[in-house]
Structure 1
Amino acid sequence: MEDPSRVLIIREDTFLKGGVRNARRIEVFGYIEGEIEGEMLVVQPGGRCFGRVNVAQADVRGMLQGDVVVRQLISIRESGEVVGNVKYGKLAMEMGGQLSAEMRNIPPSISGDLDLSVGKGNVVRITLQDLSALDPDDSAENLTFTVSQVRNGFVVLANDPVSPVGTFTQADLEEGTVLFRHDGTDDPRASFAVVVADMSGATSGAAQTVNVAVR
């Protein structure tokens, strides 16, 4: 029977940054970034795995990019894509699967529950659980959020909490200095939209709305 303590499942709504060591099976439906070591890595369709990977076997149906060592068999399925410095013992590739040595810029994506709560006329800090950028090849200071469609309030920075801002960075979020200030209106809902861009200009796509419940 497989030891459940050594099985890691990254679900569709899960985003993990950091190291994974000595796992029997790592199954990725969501996003993982970091140093990954184990016996079996399975990247499911829609799953994304980035970093330094050292596993015995890999079954790739989603996206895998980085410095990849698969000591035995790597299987790249029809929907799978493997990019980077890849070393393997054996390779099996279905028609439609992709294997490339050329590292590519990964466009940033937005994570978080996109949901805040603020007292009427008050200020709330936007945490990394509320909003965050995911990008394995750009540093936090090079990931810039653009704010639009602000309703019943405005986004500010902690060093000037009365002046609305149109942009902020992932580094600002990590430092805890990005705030939402409610404007005091009676409407029980407020919101704003964001897009994040990396240093090369790649973006997260259509603006995503952050909803704010007003207490």
Structure 2
Amino acid sequence: MSENRGVLIIGEDAVLKGEVKSGQRVEIWGYVEGGVTASEVIVQEGGKLFGTINSDTAEIRGTIQGDVRVQQLIQIKSTGHAAGKIKYGRLSMEEGGELTAHVRNIPPTLGGDLDLTVTKGRSVRITTADLNALDPDDRPENLTFHISNASGGSVVLSNDPAQAVATFSQADLERGMVYFTHDGSDAAQARFDVEVSDVSGATSGTPQTVNVAVRND
């Protein structure tokens, strides 16, 4: 996230939860869950905003959902999707753009750096910086991670560390209960694939790989 002369840019890999206020322009390339107040709001293609917008003008090339109040012109470009309670002075919408009052289920998104380091034959806790789920309309206990293709070890929960698990929740992660246990093999790298689903069955899509570097004592 960067700010230059009243212009606040939320970068492609940034995740921001909370309130954003800027006197001039807010430009969103990443993920925002909360509220944005500015003279001008631009949601770029691939950018996502779930919450509220209060602005004079808005340009939507990505996705917004929530309570939107644009005093003057809102532009919804061909790649833009706007859903929720949306009020505006004037509307410009390109072919392919979408504007609807129907609030849809939002599929979860995988977050975190997807990298771990474990000592050979030991365990390491998986934190929300390593792996997490982004979903504004589901509670942590309703977001389920699915593990597949594990090699060099297994994912376990702290209440039963001898038993490998195939699933765990965002709530488990937030409580610090999720670990990766190395199997003691000599390979310098371990791994597992993961995707996340919500209570409605929507998923994050193609599983992504969490890479685990193995170090010796």
Distance in 2 (alpha carbons) for counterparts of 1:23 and 1:32:
18
The Cα shift of 1:4 comes to 2.2
Distance in 1 (alpha carbons) for counterparts of 2:136 and 2:151:
32
**Cα distance change on mapping 1:94 and 1:170 into 2, 3 Å:** same
1:29 and 2:45 correspond: no
Higher mean C-alpha deviation, range 188-197 or range 3-12: 3-12
Write the letter of the residue equivalent to 1:184: G
Aligned to 2:148: 148
Aligned to 1:14: 14
Higher mean C-alpha deviation, range 51-60 or range 195-204: 51-60
What are the within-5 Å matches in structure 2 for residues 147-166 of structure 1? Answer: 147-166=147-166
Distance in 2 (alpha carbons) for counterparts of 1:126 and 1:136:
22
Write the letter of the residue equivalent to 2:24: R
Higher mean C-alpha deviation, range 185-194 or range 169-178: 169-178
SS across alignment from 2:148:
strand
The Cα shift of 1:170 comes to 0.8
Deviation track 1:123-145 (CA, whole Å, cap 9, x = no partner) reads 11111111111111111110000
**Cα distance change on mapping 1:23 and 1:105 into 2, 3 Å:** farther
Higher mean C-alpha deviation, range 101-110 or range 5-14: 5-14
Instruction: Calculate percent identity across the aligned residue pairs.
Output: 56
Give the conservation status (yes or no) of the 8 Å contact 1:116–1:211. Answer: yes
Distance in 2 (alpha carbons) for counterparts of 1:191 and 1:50:
32
Distance in 1 (alpha carbons) for counterparts of 2:182 and 2:200:
33
Distance in 1 (alpha carbons) for counterparts of 2:144 and 2:71:
38
Using the size of structure 1 for normalisation, the TM-score is 0.94
Aligned to 1:168: 168
Give the conservation status (yes or no) of the 8 Å contact 1:56–1:72. Answer: yes
1:72 and 2:75 correspond: no
Aligned to 2:134: 134
Distance in 1 (alpha carbons) for counterparts of 2:85 and 2:19:
19
Deviation track 1:98-124 (CA, whole Å, cap 9, x = no partner) reads 111111111111111111111111111
Distance in 1 (alpha carbons) for counterparts of 2:87 and 2:155:
46
Distance in 2 (alpha carbons) for counterparts of 1:18 and 1:161:
35
Aligned to 1:63: 63
Write the letter of the residue equivalent to 1:60: I
The Cα shift of 1:21 comes to 2.5
What are the within-5 Å matches in structure 2 for residues 63-142 of structure 1? Answer: 63-142=63-142
SS across alignment from 1:18:
strand
The Cα shift of 1:8 comes to 2.2
Write the letter of the residue equivalent to 1:128: T
Distance in 1 (alpha carbons) for counterparts of 2:170 and 2:5:
33
Query: CA RMSD of the aligned region, Å?
Result: 1.4
Stretches of structure 2 that go unaligned for 5 or more consecutive residues are none
Give the conservation status (yes or no) of the 8 Å contact 1:118–1:212. Answer: yes
Deviation track 1:145-194 (CA, whole Å, cap 9, x = no partner) reads 01111111111112222221111111111122111111111101001111
The Cα shift of 1:5 comes to 6.0
- Aligned length in residues: 213
